[in-house]
């Protein structure tokens, strides 16, 4: 499911949300400048749970593969990471500005664009800065405790954005989301209540997250970072309260259902 538009119009310009998207974009451009077989930024600024637990642990990351043409055997070539340049615990924050590819980057920034403006509107610009960063750190911490021995670098703003989505889920219960649903060669656009859309998204994180307990990340996804971030967002929203949220009804915009595109 891909959100296209929500029904709540922000009453203020989401400068901080735009700033986070801009910073993430600049960092991603720097990542793109790295040679394909290098991942220095990921190794330095990504969160590696085993290194957070023990900064002296030796970490090797795959850099490329070699294929034996005679036997067809595939060999993964690894290189050791240099010692950490700063205390690894700080990577719980720095990792949220890195991404693993175009789809990872575009998906995260798009979700942040859709849901972040209203959460910033509710918290205020300064409050939103602290909330976003705290959600990212909390998501990293949950992932760390779910995989404390993992040597796989964890990157992405997904945990912080999950916090934004959790807050949106709690505050904007009356909102609707125009949603693109890919159906093979076809697409269907429907309007879903925001709580249904975000509830389905959360279940899609929770089920594989439960299935990954005791193992490594499934499919390279840090499910528990998503789960933890979303939960933190709901908790913070509940603590802040829903005062003034009902006034957003006056700012709702229609989200008409579009016909399927074939």
Q: Can you give the C-alpha Rg of the chain in angstroms?
A: 20
**Residues 185-223: pLDDT tens digits?**
788 888 999 999 999 999 999 998 888 776 655 456 888
What average pLDDT does range 128-152 have in this prediction?
Answer: 93
Q: Which residue has the higher pLDDT, 141 or 249?
A: 141
The SS3 assignment for 176 reads strand
Task: Read off φ and ψ for residue 157, nearest 5 degrees.
Answer: -85, 5
**Residues 57-71: pLDDT tens digits?**
887 776 667 777 777
Mean residue pLDDT of the chain comes to 86
Task: Read off φ and ψ for residue 63, nearest 5 degrees.
Answer: -115, -30
Residue-level pLDDT at 36: 66
Residue-level pLDDT at 258: 45
Q: Which residue has the higher pLDDT, 21 or 65?
A: 21
Residue-level pLDDT at 142: 94
CA distance 108 to 101: 11
Residue-level pLDDT at 260: 43
* Banded pLDDT at 114 (limits 50, 70, 90): very high
Q: What is the DSSP letter of 182?
A: E
Q: Which domains does the chain have, with CATH numbers?
A: 2-57+87-251 (1.20.1540.10)
**Count of CB atoms situated within 10 Å of the CB of 234:** 20
**Residues 117-127: pLDDT tens digits?**
999 999 999 99
Spatial CB neighbours of 228, under 8 Å, sequence gap ≥ 6 = 138, 139, 141, 142, 143, 159, 162
Q: Which residue has the higher pLDDT, 103 or 78?
A: 103
Share of the chain above pLDDT 90, in %: 50
pLDDT at 259 over 60: no
Residue-level pLDDT at 151: 84
Contact call for residues 88 and 125 (beta carbons, < 8 A): no
Q: How far is CA 62 from CA 59, 141, 154, in A?
A: 10, 24, 14
Please tell me the pTM assigned to this model.
0.85
What average pLDDT does range 140-165 have in this prediction?
Answer: 92
CA distance 2 to 177: 10
Residue-level pLDDT at 124: 93
pLDDT at 105 over 80: yes
What average pLDDT does range 21-43 have in this prediction?
Answer: 86
Least confident of 26-30, 74-78, 156-160, 173-177: 74-78
pLDDT at 255 over 60: no
CA distance 106 to 231: 23
């Amino acid at each position: 499911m891909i959100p296209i538009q929500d029904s709540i119009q922000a009453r203020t310009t989401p400068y901080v949300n735009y700033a986070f998207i801009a910073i993430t974009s600049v960092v991603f451009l720097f990542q793109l400048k790295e040679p394909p077989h290098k991942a220095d930024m990921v190794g330095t600024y990504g969160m590696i749970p085993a290194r957070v637990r023990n900064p002296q642990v030796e970490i090797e990351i795959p850099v490329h593969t070699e294929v034996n043409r005679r036997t067809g055997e595939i060999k993964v070539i690894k290189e050791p990471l240099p010692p950490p340049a700063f205390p690894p615990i700080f990577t719980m924050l720095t990792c949220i500005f890195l991404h693993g590819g175009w789809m990872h980057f575009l998906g995260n920034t798009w979700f942040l664009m859709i849901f972040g403006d209203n959460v910033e509107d509710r918290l205020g610009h300064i409050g939103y800065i602290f909330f976003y960063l705290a959600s990212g750190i909390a998501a990293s911490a949950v992932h760390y405790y779910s995989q404390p021995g993992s040597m796989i670098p964890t990157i992405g703003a997904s945990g912080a954005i999950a916090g934004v989505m959790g807050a949106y889920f709690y505050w904007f219960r009356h909102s609707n989301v125009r949603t693109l649903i890919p159906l093979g060669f076809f697409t269907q656009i429907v309007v879903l209540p925001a709580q249904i859309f975000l509830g389905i998204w959360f279940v899609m994180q929770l089920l594989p997250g439960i299935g990954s307990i005791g193992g490594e990340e499934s499919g390279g996804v840090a499910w528990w970072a998503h789960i933890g971030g979303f939960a933190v967002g709901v908790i913070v929203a509940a603590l802040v309260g829903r005062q003034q949220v009902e006034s957003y009804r006056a700012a709702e915009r229609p989200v008409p259902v579009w016909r399927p595109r074939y």
